Amino acid sequence: MKFLSLLKQAPLSAQFGVLVITLYLIVVIFAPVLAPYGEREVLDSEYLPWGGEYLLGTDNLGRDMLSRLIYGARNTVGIALVTTIIAFVGGGLLGLVAAIMGGWVDQLLSRAIDVVMAIPALIFALLILTIVGTSTTSLIFVIAVLDSTRVFRLARSVAQTVVVMDYVEAAKARGEGLWWIIRKEVLPNVSAPLIAEFGLRFCFVFLFISALSFLGLGIQPPSADWGSMVRDNATLITFGDVTPLIPAAAIALLTVAINFVVDWALHRSSGLKD
Partner 1 sequence: MKKNNTSSRTLTTGTTTSHLEAPADLSLARNINRRSFLAGSIVAGATLGLGSLISPNVLANTPNKGGRLKVGFTQGATSDSTDPATFSNDFMFAYSYGVFNNLTEIAPDGSLIGELAQNWESSSDAKTWTFNLRKGVSFHDGKPFTAQDVVASINHHRGDDSKSGAKPLVEDITSIKALDTHRVEIVIGTGNADFPFMFTDYHLSIHPAKGDKIDFTSMNGTGGYTVTAFEPGVRALYTRNPNYWKAGRAHLAEVEIILIADPAARINALSTGEVDLIDRPDLKTIHLLKRRPGIKIEQQTGTKHYVLPMLSDVAPFNDNNVRNALKYGIDRQELVDKILKGYGTVGNDHPIGPSVPYFNTELKQREYDADKAKFFLNKAGLTSLDVQLHMSETAWGSNTVDAGLLYSETAAKAGMNIKVVREPNDGYFSNVWLKKPFCASYWGGRPTCDWMFTTAYAKGAAWNESRWDNPKFNELLLSARSELDENKRREMYFEMQRLVHDEGSTVIPMFGNYVLAMNEKVKHEDKVANNWDLDGLRFMERWWVA
Partner 2 sequence: MYLLLRMTAERLFFGLITLLIVSIIIFSAVELLPGDLAQEILGQSATPEAVAAFRRELGLDQAPWIRYLDWLAAISSGDFGRSLANGREISELMSSRLGNTLFLASYAALIAIPVSLILGILAALYRNSWFDRLTNLVTLSSISFPEFFIAYILILFFSVKMALLPSLANISPEMGLGDKLLRTLLPALTLTLVVVAHMMRMTRAAIINVLSSSYIEMAKLKGMSPLRIVVCHALPNALAPIINVIALNLAYLVVGVVVVEVVFVYPGLGQLLVDSVSKRDVTVVQAASLIFAGTFILLNLLADLMSIVTNPRLFNPR
Binding site for partner 2 (CB under 8 A): 11, 13, 107, 111, 114-115, 117-123, 126-128, 130-131, 150, 153-154, 157-158, 160-161, 164-165, 192-193, 196-197, 200, 203, 206-207, 210-211, 214-215, 227, 230-231, 234-235, 237-238, 240, 244, 248, 251-252, 254-256, 259-260, 263, 266-267, 270-272, 274
Which distant-in-sequence residues (6+ apart) come within 8 Å of 32 by Cβ? none
Rule CB under 8 A: say whether 235 interacts with partner 1: yes
Q: Rule CB under 8 A: which of 166-225 touch partner 1?
A: 215-218, 220-222
Phi, psi of 64 (to 5 degrees): -70, 120
| Binding partner of 62, given partner 1, partner 2, none, CB within 5-8 angstroms per partner class | partner 1
User: Shortest gap between Cβ of 7 and partner 1 (angstroms)?
Assistant: 42
Q: Rule CB under 8 A: which of 29-48 touch partner 1?
A: 40-42, 46
| Binding partner of 118, given partner 1, partner 2, none, CB within 5-8 angstroms per partner class | partner 2
Among the listed residues 50, 62, 192, 253, the single contact to partner 1 using CB under 8 A = 62
User: Under a CB-based contact definition with an 8 Å cutoff, are residues 125 and 143 in contact?
Assistant: yes
User: Shortest gap between Cβ of 139 and partner 1 (angstroms)?
Assistant: 11
Rule CB under 8 A: say whether 242 interacts with partner 1: no
Alpha-carbon Rg for the chain in angstroms: 22
Question: How many residues of this chain interact with partner 1, rule: CB under 8 A?
Answer: 27
Among the listed residues 22, 241, 268, 269, the single contact to partner 1 using CB under 8 A = 241
Rounded Cα gap, residues 207 and 217, in angstroms: 13
Q: Which is nearer to partner 2, 111 or 174 (CB)?
A: 111
| Binding partner of 218, given partner 1, partner 2, none, CB within 5-8 angstroms per partner class | partner 1
User: Shortest gap between Cβ of 217 and partner 1 (angstroms)?
Assistant: 5
Q: Which is nearer to partner 2, 44 or 106 (CB)?
A: 106
Q: Give the residue from 165, 235, 239, 159 showing the smallest Cα distance to 191.
A: 159
User: Shortest gap between Cβ of 27 and partner 1 (angstroms)?
Assistant: 23
Residues that bind partner 1 (CB under 8 A): 40-42, 46, 60-62, 126, 129-130, 133-134, 215-218, 220-222, 233-239, 241
